[in-house]
Amino acid sequence: MPAPTLLPSTMKAICFTQAGAPDVLHLETIQVPQPGRGEVLVRVMAAGVNRPDIMQRKGLYPPPPGASPRLGLEIAGEVVAHGLPQEGVTMPAIGSRICALANGGGYAEYCLVPAGQCLPWPEGFNAIEAAALPETFFTVWSNLFMPTMLPKNARVLIHGGSSGIGTTAIQLVKAFGGTPFATAGTDEKCALCEQLGAQAINYKTEDFAERIAELTKGEGVNVILDMVGGPYFERNLKSLAFDGKLIIIALQGGAKAEQANLVRIMTHRLIVTGSTLRPRDSASKARIAQDLKAKVWPLLTNRTIRPLIHQTFPLAQAAAAHQAMEDGHHLGKIILTVDSLAV
């Protein structure tokens, strides 16, 4: 079905023509995209800023085939148009307010999203809060709670505990009966992790592997959610209990681990795995969305868990938002506001 005639033909969007520092980002006027089969067009009110956006801007994380080349992987806004229906896919109603895991293009006034990747705003949320949900909650839930739920009483070490991913993971682990531990780089960030329910370790002043051994009386943790990569690999293995699992979801510290005790993997029956969210197909992301709606959205509605918003920037100041993320001082999410109704 064609987009309604009342929709504008052009929109403002953040673009960049070459990889580089945050100042390569600029606002352009481009065509409003038209929804294809199984897609919805969303008038964006707010969009989340995430580490993959930073990596893509630097030329280090190209979008997968078929994805939008523009930045922005999570949005909140109003559905304004539908594409043709797709079998097995429920379209959110025109006029409904949704948040969504986008396949790119979220830094704009309008964004195309596969219908299955949309979720309603939790009751009582505004656009800024709703835009803070998809990327982090899809990532944490799919890695820690799917395809099987994290066992109750599981000890979970979360690196980058004060980040959007980290604050989400701490709260979800706690809410579902686990014991979260978290690393962070300042006393302020550690204090935030502890307020959310984690036992925090300042990785700049303590060896996290030694501290985990002390805190668990030598038993180690059952699961580690790691965003650092190579430099932490050996210490991660040391921190795992028998039958423990290391889940690598980012490589902020580098992709190579020069030394690793493979004997420990064998003798402790350890599992080392990893994943990325963006290249997954729409059906896979839709399954995550439905699981979140059933099991996590009620916790957001009653405020058992909540997104932490560090700072908001107008869409035109996307470069400043990227610089704020790269500076590394943020506690929680950084959000771009696209619409005056976002709050």
Stretch 159-176: mean pLDDT:
97
Give yes or no for residue 5 having a pLDDT over 80.
no
pLDDT at residue number 343? 59
Cβ burial 56-92 (10 Å sphere, 16+ → b, else e): bbeeeeebeeeebebbbbbbbbbbbbbbeebeebebb
Three-state DSSP class for residue 323: helix
pLDDT band at 256 (very low <50, low <70, confident <90, very high): confident
Summarize the confidence of residues 160-172 as an average pLDDT. 97
Q: Give the Cα separation of 304 and 214 in Å (integer).
A: 30
Tens of pLDDT, residue by residue over 56-68, are: 999 999 999 989 9
Other Cβ atoms within 10 Å of 93 Cβ, number: 10
What band does 137 get if pLDDT is binned at 50, 70 and 90? very high
Distance CA 118, CA 79 (A): 10
Average pLDDT on 132-138 reads 98
- Give the number of other Cβ atoms within 10 Å of residue 223's Cβ: 22
What average pLDDT does the structure give for the chain?
94
Q: How far apart are CA 52 and CA 278, in angstroms?
A: 9
Q: According to the model, what pLDDT value does residue 34 have?
A: 96
- The fraction of the chain above a pLDDT of 70, given in percent, is 97
Q: How confident is the model at residue 259 (pLDDT cuts 50, 70, 90)?
A: confident
Would the pLDDT of 3 be above 70?
Answer: no
Give the pLDDT of residue 1. 44
The CA-based angle 69-135-282, given to 5 degrees, is: 65
- Whether pLDDT at 144 is above 90: yes
pLDDT tens by residue, 193-249? 999 999 999 999 999 999 999 999 999 999 999 998 889 999 999 999 999 999 999
DSSP output for 24-40: G-EEEEEEPP---TTEE
Q: Which domains does the chain have, with CATH numbers?
A: 8-133+276-335 (3.90.180.10), 150-272 (3.40.50.720)
For the record, the structure tokens of 257 come out as 């681990």
Q: Which of the four pLDDT bands, split at 50, 70 and 90, describes residue 340?
A: low
What pLDDT shows up at residue 2? 43
Q: Tell me how far the alpha carbon of residue 11 is from its chain's centroid.
A: 26
pLDDT digits (tens, 9 = 90+) for 260-318: 778 999 999 999 999 999 999 999 999 999 999 999 999 999 999 999 999 999 999 99
Please check whether residue 66 is in contact with residue 33, taking contact to mean a CB–CB distance below 8 angstroms.
Answer: no
- 339 closest CA partner among 11, 92, 25, 84: 11
Pairing of strands 221-226, 240-248: parallel
Number of Cβ within a 10 Å radius of residue 188? 11
Unique residue bearing structure tokens 């976002």: 342
Tell me, what amino acid is at 234? E
- Cα–Cα distance between 117 and 73 in angstroms, integer? 11
**Can you give the pLDDT at residue 261?**
79
pLDDT score recorded for residue 257: 77
